[in-house]
Amino acid sequence: MRKRSVGINVRVSVTEKRKMTLMAKRCGLSLSEYLRQRALGYEPGGHPPKEVFDVLDKLDDIAERCSAWDETDIIAQTDRMRDLLIGSN
């Protein structure tokens, strides 16, 4: 059985709904989950686009193909780029 059984209806303009839907998509959430989190005081984080992960995969591939004497420096550089793209953990 679903825990969430009570609905809340809110009227918004078409523009507002588009903006909310876009923000939810950027966070990788459904519109309902995005609105639920925002209403409960959470600030959902953004979800990087697929292209960011494609770039990271390519950077890893480049680092693996470099000669051994450059590997440490190149890995350090790719780690810095990764941090710039998606932030450090």
- Residue-wise pLDDT tens for the chain (89 aa)? 568 889 899 999 999 999 999 999 888 899 999 999 999 999 887 777 777 777 888 877 777 777 655 777 777 777 877 777 776 55
Task: Please return the burial class of 75, using the count of CB atoms within 10 Å of its CB with bins 0-12, 13-18 and 19+.
Answer: middle
Instruction: Judge if pTM exceeds 0.75.
Output: no
Q: So what's the pLDDT on residue 1?
A: 58
Task: Please return the burial class of 12, using the count of CB atoms within 10 Å of its CB with bins 0-12, 13-18 and 19+.
Answer: exposed
Q: So what's the pLDDT on residue 30?
A: 92
Q: Are 24 and 34 in contact (CB under 8 A)?
A: yes
